[in-house]
Amino acid sequence: MNTIELKTDTPIKIAILAMGGQGGGVLADWIVEMAEAAGWWAQTTSVPGVAQRTGATIYYLELLPEAAANAAGRPPVLAMMPTPGDVDLVVAAELMEAGRAMQRGLVTPERTTLITSSHRSYAVGEKAALGNGIGDPNKVIDAGREAARRLMCFDLQAMAEQAGSVISASLFGAIAGSGALPFAREAFEDTVRHGGKGVEASLRAFALGFDAAAKAPASPAPIDTARPAPVLAERAAAAEVQALLDLIRADFPVAAHGMLGAGIARLIDYQDVAYANEYLTRCAAFRALDARHGGEATDWALTCAAAHRIAVAMSYDDVIRVADLKTRASRFERVRGEVGAKPGQLVYTTEYMHPRLEEICGTLPAGLGRWLENSAGFGGFVKRHIEKGRRVQSGTLRWFLALYLVSGMRRFRRSLLRHQVESAQIQSWLERATRLAGANDYALAVEVLHCRKIVKGYSGTHDRGDKRFAALMKAADELAGRPGGAATLARLREAAQADEAGHALDAQLGQLMRPQTQTPVMSRVAA
Amino acid sequence: MAERSFKKEVEQLRIPAGEEFRGEGILAITKALLQSGVGYVGGYQGSPISHLMDVLADANEILDELDVHFETSASEATAAAMLAASVMYPVRGAVTWKSTVGTNVASDALANLASGGVTGGALVIIGEDYGEGSSIMQERSHAFAMKSQMWLLDPRPNLESIVKSVEDGFELSEASNTPVMLQVRIRSCHVHGRFITKENKRPAFTLKQAMEHPVRDTGRIVLPPASFAHEHEKIQQRWPAAVRFIRERKLNEVFEGDVEDIGLILQGGLYNGVIRALQLLGLADAFGNSRIPMYVMNVTYPVIDEEVTDFCRDKRAVLLLEEGQPDYIEQNLHAILRKAGITAHLSGKDVLPMAGEYTTAAMRDGIEAFFKTQAPALLATHDAVAADEVAAAVQAARPAAVPITFHPRVKDLAGVVPARPAGFCVGCPERPIFAAMKLTEQDLGEHHVSCDIGCHLFSILPPFNLGATTMGYGLGAASSSAFNVKSSKRSISVMGDGGFWHNGLTSGIANAVFNKHDGVIVIVDNFYSSATGGQDIPSSRADNPNRATKNPIEAAIKGAGVKWVRTIDRTYDVSRMRDTLEEALTTTQTGPKVIIAQSECMLNKQRRVKPLFAKAVKAGERAVKERFGVDPDVCTGDHACIRLSGCPSLSVKDSGDPLKEDPVAHVDSGCVGCGNCGEVAEAAVLCPSFYRADIIHNPTGLDRFMGRLRGAVIGFLQRRRAARLARTAL
């Protein structure tokens, strides 16, 4: 047998991870076209299948100079799929897809340039959570710093949008700017031009991606996921509002200033200055309590929790509020911006409303509302004739005036049934927190205040929140005086937001109510 | 046809002889059919071979010029039966489908075809939907070749080899009077490569000639006594003829190496992966030069005994790389070697995975394990001569010794990288059907739901989590047939329009009528066979000059005897959809309750409507665009709407409000204004956050007048309120 002489040329190996519809295929085709035009062999493969429908998919390319094939006297044999640890360039069209590439082992510290867009396209599991289900993006960047030879991470989606193009164009630019492929910028741009569709916009997006990559730092900065802390305004135009600001500055610890400022802003907007004043009075009670029970050591956790949760509770979402928010000029402007309306175009909005007996009675004077709510005849009439979906065209005079009138009922709000119901709930909730704090159960009192966060939404969603809140308050009473009570209540609160049907909460409550059950057992269930 | 044009691809079918074709594998096969003088082509679309059907459907002109008949078959069984034209006449025919599912459906016709045998070349091109990217059960088509005795080609995955195997396939079929299956894997179908073309050929014998000069021979018909004779004929004549042809034409390939006593035997389709695996072990290069000799089976059935014995005779050990299970070839090789008294050691699935896709990494590990026991010296060479230039390159080409996946930070990703289940597209008309079903569940409790094959099967995934089984295309209703006993709840079956015309009309609807089934059947009529790429079907609404469309499903169902039929012509009407479902589940009428839920597939609708809209706007015509949005200050961040939708354009974002820590719902610019979010929010009584915005392009004089009038009144009131708020604002 003849000795086999092995050639040393190896192809450049590229993996592109994208979600269906992101144009991963376009990007792969561009690279192939560019490489072929420059006299290279190029092969691309993919497994689109059902992944095209919103799933994640991968495109794989190998490039080899044609001169090498000519020298070898035979065409190259290129692989159909990436091998973990054997990829030179990994391109991810979304941040979590970069994470997936690392999980698949495609990124390796000796070899791989990893270019990823930092933007997020949330998966259904993240979006469907009852609270906040979004994954921590910095875990991907942390892993990328370790796993890749070079990590580049910037918002290529925003660049594409800025240029009026799509992400495949800015990604292509980033690949060019990274220098990971042996082709000149002109070769990339000629390929885009040759495509012939939306060339100018694509080239703009390409240029943005190119510059970002060319100037990319050796290691990308972490993504700032912190929510900006609210800042207390220095001055207010109205004297009565200024008085509130002064009161906050004089009587409250600095830690709570921002939240209190946000609170009074919300409540003035919601009702009036007097209402905000009422809010500060409630908060002041907790501030005094806090001072007596070591608030200084906990950075005024009780005061801060009160400042946050009482403001939200007092600005409960009622029909008046919704009508108010829907009819504001600022809202009309925001909608125009969001739908990208151009000057000269008209925009009309249609609201989807579904008034129920509870909402109608809630918007009546307390006595009348309660009487009608209990009246079988009226209830039946409403259910038959009024309780149905309403398409409210808020840009037409008829509907706008109707909504405007409803929003004008703000001035009577304090006398309406809904207000009475909400106030009673708030009262009993705050009394419970006050009682616990007074009984040296400071942490539990803080947690009781935070529990209010699960009361939100409208109609059925609101009712569900109400019921679970009541269950949590009952549990709080049980937990009073027990060691680790606050931590247990926090876990219960998380469980209350774990699933729509409430299975997690029921399971945990079941554990809690069992006699002699200690908290360590609960923590195992929680884990 | 689907509103997507394959003009560019069709042009590639016209590339003159001797020029280079560059493109996708499946398109190369299409070109190869024309180069082989095929007389007719049929098939049923499905990944990964949809493109073959799509391109030919747009290639009328070429097909007419060449006298080739192309047909979109009603099912794979129809396509397989179409090959009957090649039984008596020397006309070449090719059919294609997704396998193994399509082969399952086709197997009755295929078995009859294979029994009687063929005169003209009969080629079945099967897209082997196996491994990553597959959407079906993981099985091998190999078994069908064995049981009906059809030859199975599995060429090396480069366009030249694939194209050659189409041409070889027809000739092999004719030389052995046996239908031939050409297997192409998912990645081979989608691989971009090149080959040198030949002239397109008109069929030597046309269908017209056949019809005008009919021939019959009862000896070819599967009926005793001929059927008994067929079996003997298969063994005595057709098999030896095939073996002769395969050997003479060297369809299988032997690549020499410089290691003499070791060898690899592999399926052609695995060739590129095996070369890469050897490369990673320092035993091959990027051009297919391998130190280890290889016997590449471009024909995987039948196995050619003499070729195997020739290859193994002087070897100490050979390794067989055979993807999938059962290990038919491995068992066959053992028998061949034993009968021939050859002592070479045969390895296979003892070192390679028994089941699952043979990825490059899996094959590298298997080959390495094989060498470790059979020829350890081979693995040591490159490390020992590290100074050598070849070894250095090999070293560079080797992947990291310790995979990065074990790094703690990479392991940590498991907690944040989310699963991305496939789901309904933006604006999909099937979403509201399942949102309504979810609401029905809230009212009437959970029901047994039988699913079918099609986009609607995504209902089994989050956020809907609806559906218990799927038994095959068009079999949604059939798979509920046992649930036909007295019960307080009825079963619900779902079936798509594609599945309905494929077989569901008989297997599901007629069966339910005949057996007096009391269940509810929902037929999702979205105007196309959408999951496979939006091809037309009998009930499509498109004007298709080559097909008879617009045949209503309702008429077919009534013809089959269904009495209770409700047609909902706008699935986005969630309340109506829910009420109809509830009526179907509670009515006292006996017999099947069929709901036809109609709305056009949004993907195809957008392709159709978008250019028309842009054109109208450009021409200055009044045009209204609808888009949905969420008022972030009204939304409370509970996401109940998302749990009833899962629309990709319905997402979340930070509220921007320090008091609202949970992200609020947000509709991104991908929204096509289908209306589902608003309808669901209304039907489920969720919240008033959603709005629909109608953007009027090129408003008329009346529009502008009304706009000014409304603006004056509304603006006045808004300014009044804004002034009050501004006075006390912070």
Cα(B232)–Cα(B235) distance, integer angstroms = 5
Cα(A257)–Cα(A280) distance, integer angstroms = 11
Cα(A186)–Cα(B276) distance, integer angstroms = 32
Evaluate if residue B407 carries a pLDDT over 90: no
The angle that helices A503-513 and A459-479 make with each other, rounded to 10 degrees, is: 20
Cβ atoms < 10 Å from Cβ of A464:
21
Burial of A185 (0-12, 13-18, 19+ CB in 10 A): middle
Work out the average pLDDT over B140-159. Answer: 98
Cα(A437)–Cα(A446) distance, integer angstroms = 8
How many CA atoms are closer than 13 Å to the CA of A515, on its beta-carbon side?
0
* CATH 3.40.640.10 describes domain A12-214: no
Q: Which residue has the tokens 């018909």?
A: B221
How sure is the predictor about B158, in pLDDT bands with cuts at 50, 70 and 90?
very high
Pairing of β A346-353 and β B253-255: unpaired
Pairing of β A346-353 and β B690-697: antiparallel
pLDDT value of residue B108: 98
Evaluate if residue B724 carries a pLDDT over 60: yes
How sure is the predictor about B627, in pLDDT bands with cuts at 50, 70 and 90?
very high
The complex's ipTM works out to: 0.93
Give A127-166 as a 3 state SS string. Answer: HCCCCCCCCCHHHHHHHHHHHCCEEEEECHHHHHHHCCCC
Cα(A35)–Cα(A55) distance, integer angstroms = 28
Q: Closest CB to B685: pick one of A347, A401, A459.
A: A459
Cα(B555)–Cα(B113) distance, integer angstroms = 34
Is the Cβ–Cβ distance between A115 and A91 less than 8 Å?
yes
Burial A293-331 (b: 16+ CB within 10 A, else e): bebeebebbbbbbbbbbbbbbbbbbbbbbbbbbbbbeeb
Domain B431-604 is of which CATH architecture? Answer: 3-Layer(aba) Sandwich (3.40)
Tell whether B714 lies on the interface with A, counting CB pairs under 8 A.
yes
Q: Do B257 and A43 touch (CB under 8 A)?
A: no
> How distant is the Cα of A428 from the closest Cα of chain B, in angstroms?
22
Give A496-525 as a 3 state SS string. Answer: HCCCCCCHHHHHHHHHHHCCCCCHHHHHHH
Task: Determine the residue of chain B that is closest to A407 in CA distance.
Answer: B721
> If residue B153 lies in a helix (H) or strand (E), which one and from where to where?
strand B151-153
pLDDT value of residue B393: 55
Q: Do A43 and B686 touch (CB under 8 A)?
A: no
pLDDT value of residue B386: 37
> How distant is the Cα of A429 from the closest Cα of chain B, in angstroms?
19
Which residues on adjacent β-strands are paired with residue A64?
Answer: A41
pLDDT value of residue B463: 87
Q: Which residue has the tokens 């009161």?
A: A247
> How distant is the Cα of A228 from the closest Cα of chain B, in angstroms?
8
Q: Which candidate in A41, A124, A316, A500 is best for mutational testing of the B interface (most B CBs within 10 A)?
A: A124
pLDDT value of residue B685: 85
Evaluate if residue B381 carries a pLDDT over 80: no
The predicted-structure confidence for B308-319, as pLDDT tens digits, reads as follows 999 999 999 999
Is the Cβ–Cβ distance between A24 and A18 less than 8 Å?
yes
CATH class of residue range B623-698? alpha beta
Q: pLDDT below 70 — which residues of chain A?
A: 1, 49-54, 513-527
User: What is A416-477 written as a DSSP string?
Assistant: BHHHHHHHHHHHHHHHHHHHHHHTT-HHHHHHHHHGGGG--SSHHHHHHHHHHHHHHHHHHH
Is the Cβ–Cβ distance between B568 and B597 less than 8 Å?
yes
Q: Which residue has the tokens 């034209």?
A: B85
Cα(A336)–Cα(B544) distance, integer angstroms = 40
Domain ranges of chain A: 12-214
> Which letter does DSSP use for residue A365 in this model?
B
Helix (H, G, I), strand (E, B) or coil at A385: helix
For A24, the token pair is 């991963």
Is the Cβ–Cβ distance between A175 and A210 less than 8 Å?
no
The A residues from 180 to 209 touching B (CB cutoff 8 Å) are none
Using the Cα atoms of residue B432, residue B438, residue B441 and residue B442 in order, give the sign of their dihedral.
negative
pLDDT value of residue A214: 97
Burial of B126 (0-12, 13-18, 19+ CB in 10 A): buried
Q: Do B399 and A84 touch (CB under 8 A)?
A: yes
Indicate the CATH number for domain B7-248: 3.40.50.970
Q: Which residue has the tokens 């409210």?
A: A392
Work out the average pLDDT over B624-651. Answer: 92
The angle that helices B389-397 and B376-384 make with each other, rounded to 10 degrees, is: 110
Q: What is the CA radius of gyration of chain A?
A: 30
Query: pLDDT over 90 for what percent of chain B?
Result: 85
Task: State the average pLDDT for chain B.
Answer: 94
The A residues from 36 to 95 touching B (CB cutoff 8 Å) are 36, 42-51, 53-57, 64, 68-69, 72-86
Cite the DSSP H helix spans in A9-103: 24-37, 66-72, 95-103
pLDDT value of residue B80: 98
Cα(A355)–Cα(A359) distance, integer angstroms = 6
Q: Do B133 and A57 touch (CB under 8 A)?
A: yes
pLDDT value of residue B520: 98
Cα(A475)–Cα(A24) distance, integer angstroms = 51
Helix (H, G, I), strand (E, B) or coil at A349: strand
> Which letter does DSSP use for residue A276 in this model?
H
Length of chain A: 527
pLDDT value of residue B388: 45
pLDDT value of residue A205: 97
Neighboring chain A residues of B288 at a CB cutoff of 8 Å: 74, 76-77
Evaluate if residue B592 carries a pLDDT over 90: yes
Cα(A472)–Cα(A459) distance, integer angstroms = 20
Is the Cβ–Cβ distance between B73 and B79 less than 8 Å?
yes
Evaluate if residue B695 carries a pLDDT over 50: yes
Burial of B710 (0-12, 13-18, 19+ CB in 10 A): middle
Neighboring chain B residues of A69 at a CB cutoff of 8 Å: 287
Q: In Å, what is the CA distance from B192 to each residue of A10, A28, A436, B159? A: 19, 10, 70, 8
Tell whether B122 lies on the interface with A, counting CB pairs under 8 A.
no
Tell whether B54 lies on the interface with A, counting CB pairs under 8 A.
no
Q: Quick one: how many helices (H) and strands (E) in chain A? A: 25, 8
Indicate the CATH number for domain B253-406: 3.40.50.920
Evaluate if residue B294 carries a pLDDT over 90: yes
Cα(B294)–Cα(B283) distance, integer angstroms = 12
Closest CA to B308 of B227, B243, B229, B373: B243
Evaluate if residue B410 carries a pLDDT over 50: yes
Cα(A88)–Cα(A107) distance, integer angstroms = 8
pLDDT value of residue B395: 55
The edge-to-edge listing of strands for the beta sheet with A12-19 is A40-46, A56-65, A12-19, A89-92, A113-117, A150-154
Is the Cβ–Cβ distance between B229 and B194 less than 8 Å?
no
Cα B295–Cα B369–Cα B285 angle in degrees, nearest 5: 50
Q: Do A2 and B256 touch (CB under 8 A)?
A: yes
pLDDT value of residue A523: 38
Is the Cβ–Cβ distance between B496 and B524 less than 8 Å?
yes
Amino acid at site B11: E
Cα(B624)–Cα(B441) distance, integer angstroms = 36
The predicted-structure confidence for B347-357, as pLDDT tens digits, reads as follows 999 999 999 99
Is the Cβ–Cβ distance between A520 and A488 less than 8 Å?
no
Cα(A368)–Cα(A98) distance, integer angstroms = 60
Q: Which candidate in B21, B287, B669, B727 is best for mutational testing of the A interface (most A CBs within 10 A)?
A: B287
